[in-house]
Amino acid sequence: MKHECPKCPYVVGNKSTLQLGVPYNDEIVEARITQVFESFTLARVMVVQLNSPALGLSGNMVLKVFDQRFASQTRENEKADPWTLDIGKQYHQFILDGGESDNSGEDGDDDDEEEEDKEEEGEEEQKEWTAPRNEADLHNLMQRLYHTEVDVYQALKDHQGQDIPHFLAGIVIPDSSPMQRATLAKHIDMPGILLQDIDGFHLADLAQHAPRETWQYPPLQPGDLNKDVKTRNLIVRRELDGNFKVFMIDFALCRFRREYKTDNDWRECKAHEDEEGAVAFVMHKYLQGGFAYNRSALYEKLDEYYMMGD
């Protein structure tokens, strides 16, 4: 059977219908995609244009969509097949059936069939059962990533516009029809976030865009624990006064202090993740002496307590 693999809708020129969350009370707006960032793996990230002046939403913004269908790297990591329309139909039926049924014994009486045929049928049934289960797992993963990112932006509200982009709204891209909405919406509609568009460049490209005397920058420590700190997650913007400002983005893999039982557990995890060093050591290498990394007092203390024996 030929399985149709639909084209990804997140391409330049396409439009997406967005349902806005708080504080916009489920208002519907249309966003036109003007740029797509291909390097992101946990979510689809793009620049979109909105024209809703009555809502205070006009111009360029960043749209980040947690869409399991086209999160190719995540699907590969979770050993899920590429998404197809057939997988989508299986997943919808799986949800309608309650998502808990076990159809492993519903293949009928095959006592008279050849052993080879039984094995092939069993493998096919197992694959058909695994696909919708994988989709359910992927959906739950995407929901967790979305909620984590929203929580981080709320927790770091005082840093918005200063060290991180402004969080503009949580959104949903409806994938369910009006007739399906009551039963399927929360399982198939795609969550996402609208953010301030930081017009800049990746920190790794600092040498190409900024003079050498500006390469030294202070470490960013917003206060959470980010397990995905990379130079691609730091954007540098040239300010009106000619200086350069670093912004941190991408918080879906963050953790909070409240998720750890003790201060010691939290501090030990911070020490091993070493968010500061994860970026600074790379930049020291990239800039070939143009950036001097001086370990902060916080990480010197963490090193002393947790890393000396390693």
Query: What pLDDT score was predicted for residue 181?
Result: 63
Distance between CA atoms of residues 199 and 172, nearest Å: 25
Contact residues for 23 (Cβ-Cβ < 8 A; gap 6+): 169
pLDDT band at residue 56 using 50, 70 and 90 as cut-offs: very high
Query: What pLDDT score was predicted for residue 106?
Result: 40
Is residue 45 within 8 A of residue 63, CB to CB? The reply is yes
Query: What pLDDT score was predicted for residue 178?
Result: 62
Contact residues for 42 (Cβ-Cβ < 8 A; gap 6+): 66, 71, 73, 74, 145, 228, 250, 252, 253
Task: Give the SS3 label for residue 45.
Answer: strand
pLDDT band at residue 33 using 50, 70 and 90 as cut-offs: very high
Residue of 144, 163, 143, 141 whose CA lies nearest to 153: 163
Query: What pLDDT score was predicted for residue 72?
Result: 85
271 vs 112, residue with greater confidence: 271
Percentage of the chain modeled with pLDDT above 70: 81
Quick: pLDDT tens for 159-206: 999 999 999 999 999 876 666 666 788 888 999 999 999 999 998 888
Quick: pLDDT tens for 121-161: 444 444 555 889 999 999 999 999 999 999 999 999 999 99
Percentage of the chain modeled with pLDDT above 90: 41
Identity (one letter) of the amino acid at 70? F
Question: Is 60 exceeded by the pLDDT of residue 103?
Answer: no
Phi-psi region of 125 (alpha: psi -120 to 50; beta: other; left: phi over 0): alpha
The domain spans of the chain are 14-70+137-196, 201-307
Measured from the Cβ of residue 87, the count of other Cβ atoms closer than 10 Å reads 20
Quick: pLDDT tens for 258-276: 787 788 887 788 778 877 7
DSSP per-residue string spanning 238-295: E-TTS-EEEEE---TTEE-GGGSSSHHHHHHHHHHH-HHHHHHHHHHHHTTTSS----
Mark out the alpha helices in 21-114 (DSSP H runs). 72-77, 85-96
pTM tops 0.85, yes or no: no
Quick: pLDDT tens for 216-225: 766 655 556 6
- Class of the 14-70+137-196 domain? alpha beta
Is residue 276 within 8 A of residue 299, CB to CB? The reply is yes
- Sign, CA dihedral 146-152-157-160, equals negative
